[in-house]
Amino acid sequence: MFPLPISEEHCRKLERMYLGCPINRAMYPSTRAEFTGKAASISLEVDAHQFHAMRAAHGSVYFKLIDDAAYFAAQAHVEDSYLLTVSMNLNFTRPVTGGRMVCRGQVLHRGRRMLVAEAELLDADGHLLATGRGTFMPSGKPLESDFGYR
């Protein structure tokens, strides 16, 4: 589907970049990530600090996981420039009040300037919580050689 091979080293650097990001370390310390050339998988444990007034995970937690999984699925295909999220569309299907959420993203289309990726968010029992689709484009800002290090 995509003619360029995706470096495993690049994917490991993306994992380190993601897990080392200040927002993930501070707000989502239970986050796990695994990125390959075919998919991005991000998971976290739901806790009460993420709840809205109705005692379920806030939609912003869903959005962050879906945006991140779709983004990193796309970023695995681009080694020379950081990507920017151009648009993101989410559909929520059910609330979650605990357990581990897992989000998997994959690239649907890679054009000359834009990539389209989708992600689905599941609870620990495999129930669909939300889906999303995003469009991403190169920022023009080059990835530094040590971008994957804390």
- Look at residue 11 in the predicted model and tell me its pLDDT: 93
Domain carrying residue 73: 8-142
Question: What average pLDDT does range 111-124 have in this prediction?
Answer: 96
Tell whether the torsion through CA atoms of 114, 115, 116 and 122 is positive or negative: negative
The domain that contains 93 carries what CATH number?
Answer: 3.10.129.10
Could you tell me the pTM of the whole model? 0.92
| pLDDT tier for residue 4 given thresholds of 50, 70 and 90 | low
Q: Look at residue 127 and tell me if it is in a domain.
A: yes
- Lowest-confidence range among 68-77, 93-102, 138-147? 138-147
Question: What average pLDDT does range 121-149 have in this prediction?
Answer: 90
- Look at residue 1 in the predicted model and tell me its pLDDT: 42
- Look at residue 68 in the predicted model and tell me its pLDDT: 97
Q: Look at residue 147 and tell me if it is in a domain.
A: no
Q: Which residue has the higher pLDDT, 22 or 119?
A: 119
Q: What 3-state DSSP class applies to 15?
A: helix
Q: Look at residue 2 and tell me if it is in a domain.
A: no
Q: Look at residue 131 and tell me if it is in a domain.
A: yes
Q: Report the 10 Å Cβ neighbour count for 63.
A: 16
Question: What average pLDDT does range 36-53 have in this prediction?
Answer: 92
Cβ atoms of 137 and 99 within 8 Å: the answer is: no
Number of domains in the chain: 1
Alpha-helix residue ranges (DSSP H) falling in 21-123 = 22-27, 59-75
Q: Look at residue 122 and tell me if it is in a domain.
A: yes
Predicted confidence (pLDDT) at residue 90 exceeds the cutoff of 50: yes
- Look at residue 35 in the predicted model and tell me its pLDDT: 95
Q: Give dist(CA 36, CA 10) in Å, integer.
A: 9
